Structures are given as C-alpha cells and as structure tokens.
C-alpha cells in the first residue's frame, strides 16, 4: 500500500505523499462493524452454495465411475 499511495499522490495530485499529508492531514481509519444484517447478506450473496458444490462433486464422481471422463 505504501508504494501505491505514493504513486497515487504523485500521479493524481502532483505532490509527494508527505506533501499531501501536510496539506490534507493523515487519513482516518475506520473499522467496519459487522452486524447480523450484513453477515446475513454476505452469507446469502455467495455465488456457490454448499449444495451446488456437493451436487457438482457427485456428478463428477458418477462420470468418473462410468469411465466417461477424458484425460
């Protein structure tokens, strides 16, 4: 992140990181809070669910047993 910050400040703001900090101050760091609604959204928004994975694994095992896979 350090190099990215210096590059960003130089390219976008035409000043070094130290000059930028002197002019605007240091960034404020915020710790995100994980409430139950956010956790539920993360769980529900997952692309691959456990059932999807299990079904794909079962299909692959069936194909392998039948000898229809190509190496």
Can you give the pLDDT at residue 1? 46
Cβ contact 9:20 at 8 Å: yes
Rounded CA gap, 37 and 43, in Å? 10
Mean pLDDT of 29-58: 77
Three-class DSSP category at 1: coil
Three-class DSSP category at 40: helix
Mean pLDDT of 51-56: 84
Kindly report the pTM of this predicted structure. Answer: 0.37
Cβ contact 30:36 at 8 Å: no
Residue of 45, 41, 32, 5 lying closest to 21 (CA atoms): 5
């Amino acid at each position: 992140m350090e190099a990215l910050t210096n590059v960003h400040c130089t390219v976008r703001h035409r000043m070094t990181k130290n000059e930028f900090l002197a002019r605007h101050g240091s960034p404020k760091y915020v710790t995100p809070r994980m409430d139950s609604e956010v956790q539920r959204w993360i769980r529900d928004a997952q692309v691959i669910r456990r059932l999807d994975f299990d079904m794909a694994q079962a299909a692959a095992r069936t194909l392998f047993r039948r000898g229809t896979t190509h190496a």
